[in-house]
Amino acid sequence: MFAAPDDTAAKQALASVYEKLGHGAENATWRNFYLMGAQELRGTVAHTALETTNPEMAMALTVDMLIDSLAIRVDGPRAWDEKLTMTWNVTDEQHTWHLLLSNGALTYRSTDTSSGTNGRGQAADLTLTLTKSELLGVLTGGGLDDVHVQGDPQVFATLTGLLDAPDPDFAIVTP
Domain ranges of the chain: 8-41, 55-161
Percent of the chain residues topping a pLDDT of 70? 93
The pLDDT of residue 99 is 97
- pLDDT of 89 strictly over 70: yes
Residue 175's pLDDT band (cuts 50, 70, 90) = confident
Q: How confident is the model at residue 36 (pLDDT cuts 50, 70, 90)?
A: very high
CA triplet 69, 25, 17: central angle to 5 degrees? 100
Q: Is the pLDDT of residue 30 over 60?
A: yes
Query: What is the residue type of 148?
Result: H
Q: What pLDDT is attached to residue 112?
A: 81
Q: What pTM does this model have? A: 0.75
User: Does the structure show a pLDDT above 80 at 66?
Assistant: yes
Mean pLDDT of 100-123: 79
pLDDT of the residue at 5: 87
Closest by CA to 87, choosing from 118, 113, 62, 108, is 118
Average of per-residue pLDDT across 1-14: 92
pLDDT of res. 116: 57
**To the nearest whole number, what is the mean pLDDT of the chain?**
89
Q: pLDDT tens for residues 112-140?
A: 866 555 555 678 999 999 999 999 989 98
Dist. CA 132–CA 134, nearest whole Å: 5
What per-residue confidence (pLDDT) applies to 22? 96
CATH 3.90.1150.10, applies to 55-161: no
Whether pLDDT at 160 is above 70: yes
